[in-house]
Chains A and B, each alone.
Chain A
């Protein structure tokens, strides 16, 4: 399909109302999965705050499963009824799931070098952990604050926006070059989400793009911690 010459508004063939109804019906149809996603979000916070490198790999694996769920349940099945490009997006999310699961399967650099995980200085949390907390806990609260109905909130693990931002946070915590591979698709989704919400004049249109912009400084900060603690990323 032709993309050149189209504005964002041309590529979003549904209304804000239809989008919110879609999320509400999706949450209703997949209630247990949404609750499981919330629980996984809390587990992810715990894993990302832990000291063990294996926990970080578990966090990557958990995120991979969430991306797979969002790809085929939210994008392909639900959004596919409204958007011709939903299957392309679903394949993108599937690719990201594969990257996360492959990353989880391989030992992290500081495991191989038997050095302590650089970001786990006792008594402190990685800066990126706060972005992760925002994605898991604050995201739906912000949506609620701007007037969204409870039923139409997007939750970590089952909705794309919060899941993508959480992934950016965990990628920032992940040492090594693999972290760079984990960034492009979540960043791209954040831009798509902001563009779409912008077309809707949604009060939170700026939020996904802002989270994406925040990833740069977080990456730098986390790698600075890596350097100062002497660990190899």
Chain B
């Protein structure tokens, strides 16, 4: 049995996604479909719309919380340049991340929208009534007319915030809404929200070492047609550290990966229910390495099991 899906299958998926959407209305979607047609990085559909987004996105936790340090800002501009050059799309942040949103506002290229930016942030306040003001502050910090995705951060006051987000989506102030958690926390409560609420996205921790989501959350996301953003794909950097200096087994070539970090990302986005992984980095070379992941054939279920077993054995 082949250890990977064929490029043909991926192109077929792309065509199916385009048919599902009818017309792709947003610049991000157009850019994504163009990259797909040019056999660029892997793109996957958002189930609620069929819009296709690059499967490797970017997180900003810690790495973009750098204040106004000019040297660090210059590096973040380069990181974002490398991200968009490689066909990146989803950038995820939060008001919890200190200066990260302001840093994005200062460092995003002026043509980020036309280059495929899919802007995602979160609402993170205990007071439901202050949610709209916090979202507006985030929008001003990012310096964008609107967000593509707004998520309730870590299920905080989610009942109230979700009502706000649903109203905003209905008014066209945001395209997608969702809810997040991380570190495997509160999965039972998240499952209830996924089962009952009309959300487009869900975000939780999923990586080669944290696979609890495979039991219930990922199947439920598929069943309910909810896009999945996998956070902590490197478990805060500890997974690449564990693989440092270890050669990638022969299967790496089969899936177009040269390094363990690329294989770790490919493992995540090859799960059928995962839409996107959002690694964070403060290094341009790491960004290029991340964006080169999942650019080859995807591993099938058997090879995914082998990747997990080989990593476990490191």
Cβ contact within 8 Å between B186 and A5: yes
Cβ contact within 8 Å between B156 and A2: yes
Of the stretches B16-24, B66-74, B164-172, B292-300, the one at the interface is: B66-74
Which B100-137 residues have a C-beta within 8 angstroms of A?
100, 124-126
| Distance between Cα atoms of A5 and B153 in the complex (Å) | 13
| Distance between Cα atoms of A2 and B124 in the complex (Å) | 9
Interface check B173, CB cutoff 8 A: no
Cβ contact within 8 Å between A5 and B65: no
B99 to chain A, nearest CB (A): 5
Cβ contact within 8 Å between B156 and A83: no
Cβ contact within 8 Å between A14 and B156: no
Residues of B within 8 A of A36 (CB): none
Q: Known: A5-B185, A21-B69, A84-B98. Contact between A14 and B124, CB under 8 A?
A: no
Cβ contact within 8 Å between A25 and B65: no
B213 to chain A, nearest CB (A): 17
Contact of B98 among A5, A13, A17, A25 (CB under 8 A): A13
Interface check B61, CB cutoff 8 A: yes
Cβ contact within 8 Å between A13 and B65: yes
Residues of A within 8 A of B66 (CB): 14, 18, 21, 82
Contact of A9 among B67, B124, B236 (CB under 8 A): B236
Q: Known: A13-B65, A15-B62. Contact between A2 and B98, CB under 8 A?
A: no
Interface check A1, CB cutoff 8 A: yes
Which A147-190 residues have a C-beta within 8 angstroms of B?
none
Interface check B154, CB cutoff 8 A: yes
Interface check A112, CB cutoff 8 A: no
Cβ contact within 8 Å between B72 and A14: no
Interface check B63, CB cutoff 8 A: yes
| Distance between Cα atoms of A83 and B99 in the complex (Å) | 8
B-contact bits for A12-34, CB 8 A (1 contact / 0 none): 01110110011001000000000
Interface check B183, CB cutoff 8 A: yes
Interface check B48, CB cutoff 8 A: no
Contact of B68 among A7, A10, A81 (CB under 8 A): A81
Main secondary structure of the interface of A (DSSP, over half): loop
Residues of B within 8 A of A25 (CB): 67, 69
Size range of the interface on A?
10 to 19
A7, A10, A14, A15 — most chain B CB neighbours (10 Å): A14
Cβ contact within 8 Å between A13 and B61: yes
Cβ contact within 8 Å between A82 and B126: no
| Distance between Cα atoms of A9 and B238 in the complex (Å) | 13
Contact of B62 among A1, A14, A21 (CB under 8 A): A14
Interface check B97, CB cutoff 8 A: yes
- Determine the residue in chain A with the shortest Cβ distance to B282: A15
Size range of the interface on B?
20 to 34
Cβ contact within 8 Å between B236 and A18: no
A202 to chain B, nearest CB (A): 15
| Distance between Cα atoms of A229 and B72 in the complex (Å) | 58
Cβ contact within 8 Å between B98 and A22: no
Cβ contact within 8 Å between A14 and B98: yes
| Distance between Cα atoms of A3 and B67 in the complex (Å) | 23
A-contact bits for B37-57, CB 8 A (1 contact / 0 none): 000000000000000000000
Q: Known: A13-B62, A18-B66, A22-B67. Contact between A82 and B98, CB under 8 A?
A: yes
- Determine the residue in chain A with the shortest Cβ distance to B62: A15
- Determine the residue in chain A with the shortest Cβ distance to B100: A13
Cβ contact within 8 Å between A1 and B98: no
- Determine the residue in chain A with the shortest Cβ distance to B63: A15
Interface check B96, CB cutoff 8 A: yes
Q: Known: A13-B97, A83-B98. Contact between A18 and B65, CB under 8 A?
A: yes
- Determine the residue in chain B with the shortest Cβ distance to A11: B96
Cβ contact within 8 Å between A82 and B99: yes
Cβ contact within 8 Å between B72 and A21: yes
- Determine the residue in chain B with the shortest Cβ distance to A86: B98
B97 to chain A, nearest CB (A): 5
B98, B124, B156 — most chain A CB neighbours (10 Å): B98
| Distance between Cα atoms of A173 and B295 in the complex (Å) | 66
Cβ contact within 8 Å between B95 and A84: yes
Residues of A within 8 A of B126 (CB): 1-2
Residues of A within 8 A of B100 (CB): 13
Residues of A within 8 A of B97 (CB): 13
B67, B124, B125, B282 — most chain A CB neighbours (10 Å): B67
18 residue pairs bridging A and B, Cβ less than 8 Å apart: A1-B96, A1-B125, A1-B126, A2-B126, A2-B154, A9-B236, A13-B61, A13-B65, A13-B96, A15-B62, A18-B62, A21-B67, A22-B69, A81-B68, A81-B99, A82-B65, A82-B99, A83-B98
Taking A21-B72, A83-B98 as known contacts, 11 extra A-B pairs with beta carbons closer than 8 A to each other, sorted by chain A number, are A5-B154, A10-B183, A13-B61, A13-B96, A13-B100, A15-B62, A18-B69, A22-B69, A25-B69, A81-B98, A84-B98
9 closest Cβ pairs, A-B complex: A81-B67, A82-B98, A14-B65, A13-B98, A81-B99, A21-B69, A13-B65, A13-B97, A18-B66
- Please list the residues of chain B having a beta carbon within 8 angstroms of any beta carbon in chain A: 61-63, 65-69, 72, 95-100, 124-126, 154, 156, 183, 185-186, 236, 282
